[in-house]
Structure 1
């Protein structure tokens, strides 16, 4: 499903980063920009039937909305989003130019923090 957004090395790096942080609970990894996306990992037991373009649009708008809404609050800077669903979780880490969302089976808060920190480091390297 390569779109050319990421080199094969960068795609491997983000998948390895996420697998290292959360192991077999990893369901999928999708890298995105405002205009395009690339699903770089989907666990074998899952179907490729998700409407990722709708997800991306929502996650990009959601990031911008959250970043603006909480700017300057006593909570501090916005870091990442966790969404909870019946069959898993979605963790979104986004910068001003790109982002990654990772879907998982059940995790602890420590696991979420670990994967968000690792993905943020990946995005910082891409932005820098």
Structure 2
């Protein structure tokens, strides 16, 4: 699984963290930076036909735009994004240098909070020296 973006251990941890938080509702997990990405998990009943490079460009720009737009607002710090689609959801958790988005079937807000908190923790550990 090691593509040079992530060591196998971190990639497996991201997938395990997502699967633990979301269970069988998890559809896919993709790690990304501003310049590259790697799909870490795709549920076996789904086809590998999504245009991930377009998703990544949009999600990276979306993070930067949201972070800047809401900076200093009474809402507090930006934490994560949930996108709702006809066939599922996308949750994006991003730091200044990397991010993860996971796609899921239906979840509750509590489920989204759990997966976002868990993924933010994994990304934060990578930022520590």
Deviations 1:51-99 (A, max 9, x none): 0000000000000000000000000000000000000000000000000
2:60 partner SS: helix
Distance in structure 1 (CA, Å) of the matches to 2:61 and 2:2: 24
State how many pairs are aligned: 128
User: 5+ residue gaps in structure 1?
Assistant: none
2:75 partner SS: coil
Distance in structure 1 (CA, Å) of the matches to 2:48 and 2:3: 16
Cα deviation, residue 4, structure 1: 1.7
Q: 1:7 — aligned with what?
A: 7
Cα deviation, residue 3, structure 1: 2.3
Deviations 1:2-46 (A, max 9, x none): 522111111111000000001000000000000100100000000
- CA RMSD, aligned part only? 0.8
TM-score (norm 2): 0.97
Distance in structure 2 (CA, Å) of the matches to 1:107 and 1:49: 23
Listed as ranges, the matches of 1:79-118 within 5 Å are 79-118=79-118
Distance in structure 2 (CA, Å) of the matches to 1:114 and 1:5: 25
Q: 1:58 — aligned with what?
A: 58
Distance in structure 2 (CA, Å) of the matches to 1:47 and 1:16: 21
